[in-house]
């Protein structure tokens, strides 16, 4: 299947600092990228949807000024957690979808990023 | 009530057994139903994809969707230790690429050799 690379896989940062997470589609062009968050023993929850060249659409309850999403190209989306606090500690995972062919409805996932804010 | 309910397990069965994994959901707008498998420290990978009600079979895996009951299932025949993983059900309103997925919590499955 298609490959989505997410980096870093694990990051520890100090409270008040910002952290950037990258999501790259390595062998296909992702028209849409999604960012999810998973707290312990909870479901993966959709945070936002971004289309290349457009502003991201955020789910209810997700602060757009805190979680900045940039999808500047068809192969790269970034999530920046600004002024991170301990309650932002979570597992963040991206997924990418593309149009065309029989696979146009599948979402491929990155490996996820474990963020710990201390 | 959560949109998607899934028993987190763990579910432990002997090798060779038939495994049944299930999810229920509350939003009747969901039309597309998926099962993902996730190994530790990896992203989810798509196993089965079904549109609307019905059955779909792929090798040892069978997915069933009953929209009238808002209930979906994944069956694994002749289970193998390599099937040990977390299985996530997911669903969406559209299959057109623009809709994010709503996930269950995932069921942790252990196949005992």
| Cα–Cα dist B76/A36, whole Å | 27
Confidence of residue A101 (pLDDT cuts 50, 70, 90): low
pLDDT at A1 over 80: no
Contact flag B103-A111 (C-beta cutoff 8 Å): no
DSSP E strands: which ranges in A53-104? 57-58, 67-73, 76-81, 90-97
Nearest to B43 among A45, A51, A93 (CB): A93
- pLDDT for res A51: 84
Nearest to B97 among A31, A93, A111 (CB): A31
pLDDT at A102 over 70: no
Mean per-residue pLDDT over chain A, rounded: 89
Contacts of A46 in chain B (CB under 8 A): 100-102
pLDDT at A99 over 90: no
Q: Which residue has the higher pLDDT, A72 or B95?
A: A72
> Per CB distance under 8 Å, which residues of B are interface residues toward A?
2, 4, 6, 8, 32, 36, 41-46, 49, 88, 95-98, 100-106
pLDDT at A17 over 90: yes
pLDDT in tens, chain B (113 residues): 679 999 988 999 999 999 999 999 999 999 999 999 999 878 899 999 888 888 999 999 999 999 999 999 999 999 999 999 999 999 988 765 567 889 999 999 999 99
Closest to A48 measured CA to CA, from A37, A95, A56, B51: A56
Minimal Cα–Cα distance from A70 to chain B, Å? 17
| Dihedrals phi, psi of B31, to nearest 5 degrees | -120, -25
Contact flag A98-B97 (C-beta cutoff 8 Å): yes
- pLDDT for res B51: 85
| Cα–Cα dist A37/B76, whole Å | 28
| Cα–Cα dist B9/A58, whole Å | 31
- pLDDT for res A72: 80
Mean pLDDT of A69-74: 88
């Amino acid at each position: 299947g298609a490959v989505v690379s997410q980096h870093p896989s694990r990051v520890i940062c100090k409270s008040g600092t910002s952290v950037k997470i990258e999501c790259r589609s390595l062998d296909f062009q992702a028209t849409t990228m999604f960012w999810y968050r998973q707290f312990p023993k909870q479901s993966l929850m959709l945070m936002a949807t971004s289309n290349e060249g457009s502003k991201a659409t955020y789910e209810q309850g997700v602060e757009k000024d805190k979680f900045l999403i940039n999808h500047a190209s068809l192969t790269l989306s970034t999530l920046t957690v600004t002024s991170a606090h301990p309650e932002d500690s979570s597992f963040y995972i991206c997924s990418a979808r593309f149009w065309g062919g029989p696979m146009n409805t599948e979402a491929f996932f990155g490996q996820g990023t474990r963020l710990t804010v201390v | 009530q959560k949109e998607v309910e899934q028993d987190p397990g763990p579910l432990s069965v002997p090798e060779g057994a038939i495994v049944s994994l299930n999810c229920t959901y509350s939003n009747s707008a969901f039309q597309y139903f998926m099962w993902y498998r996730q190994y530790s420290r990896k992203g989810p990978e798509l196993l089965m994809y079904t549109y609307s009600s019905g059955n779909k079979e792929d090798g040892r895996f069978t997915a069933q969707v009953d929209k009238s009951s808002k209930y979906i299932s994944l069956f694994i025949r002749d289970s193998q230790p390599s099937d040990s993983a977390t299985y996530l059900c997911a669903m969406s309103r559209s299959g057109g690429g623009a809709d994010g997925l709503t996930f269950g919590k995932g069921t942790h499955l252990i196949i005992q050799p």
